[in-house]
Structure 1
Amino acid sequence: MVFILGVNFPERNLVKKSLEAFFGIGPFTSSRLLSRFHIHPTCKIGELANKQVLDLTAALADMKIENDLRRQVLDDIKRLKETGTYRGRRHALGLPARGQRTRTQTKTAVKLNRIDRRL
């Protein structure tokens, strides 16, 4: 088991997929981190050297991920609601906020745009 930012990862997992497990890190960001520290895309967690693990942990600590990012998203939605913008009103009503059609298929947007969002 290897610890990255306090999270235990099995040694057989790919480094790329393990990085994508963090909220706020997608395929593009994980690829950039791998190339920055000269790690092959098919490398597994168990094959990393201690220095590489420490470098990845330091880089992730500088980024805004997990709870900090979730809090920022919720604060942004709250700010939109308080200022009374169109997007804020759509979030408050549970309707699609990004121009999707509402004639059909609004069930997904209603689930996603609940007032108390749980990310």
Structure 2
Amino acid sequence: MVYIILGFNFPESRLVLKTVQHFYGIGPQVARHLLARLHIHPTARLSSLNSQTVLDITAELSSMKIENELRRELRVNITRLRDMGTYRGRRHAMGMPVRGQRTRTQTATAAKFNRVERLG
């Protein structure tokens, strides 16, 4: 059987913890807190949950800021920094490290993660 949570299909053999972490904006710590709040064991699988528990997980996730809503907020924040002309905004615009990392030799990771649509 396939479980559908917020439009995503998950197989029944998948761990509930990993299923919740699949969503953008939910890491290991938030996932553990969510499962603890719903009284679900971290090693539980989707097949062991009843339909009401799956609905509870869906309700909790829908109340959180995840996926596209979170991505949109991050994009707006970066755009705001760029428009104000702050140091961080300029570093984002150039695709360079924003938080004081070394630039002499290690800029590949920053260039990968600071990719934003470049305006002019």
Task: Report TM bin, short chain.
Answer: over 0.9
The ranges of structure 1 where at least 4 consecutive aligned residues each deviate by more than 4 angstroms after the TM superposition are none
Q: Deviations over 1:73-108 (max 9, x none)?
A: 111100000001110000011110011011111121
Give the distance between the partners of 1:78 and 1:115, measured in 2 at CA: 9
Give the distance between the partners of 2:3 and 2:59, measured in 1 at CA: 15
In structure 1, the partner of 2:62 is 61
Give the distance between the partners of 1:22 and 1:67, measured in 2 at CA: 10
Question: What RMSD in Å do the two structures reach over aligned CA positions?
Answer: 1.1
Following TM superposition, by how much is the alpha carbon of 1:114 offset from its aligned partner in structure 2, in angstroms?
2.2
In structure 1, the partner of 2:79 is 78
Q: Which amino acid aligns with 1:102?
A: T
Q: Secondary structure at the match of 2:54?
A: helix
The runs of 5 or more residues in structure 1 that have no matched partner are none
Task: State the identity as a percent.
Answer: 57
Give the distance between the partners of 1:47 and 1:111, measured in 2 at CA: 40
In structure 2, the partner of 1:103 is 104
Q: Deviations over 1:13-48 (max 9, x none)?
A: 000001000000000110011001100110001111
State the TM-score, normalizing by the size of structure 2: 0.94
In structure 2, the partner of 1:19 is 20
The runs of 5 or more residues in structure 2 that have no matched partner are none
Following TM superposition, by how much is the alpha carbon of 1:115 offset from its aligned partner in structure 2, in angstroms?
3.0
Q: Which amino acid aligns with 1:79?
A: R
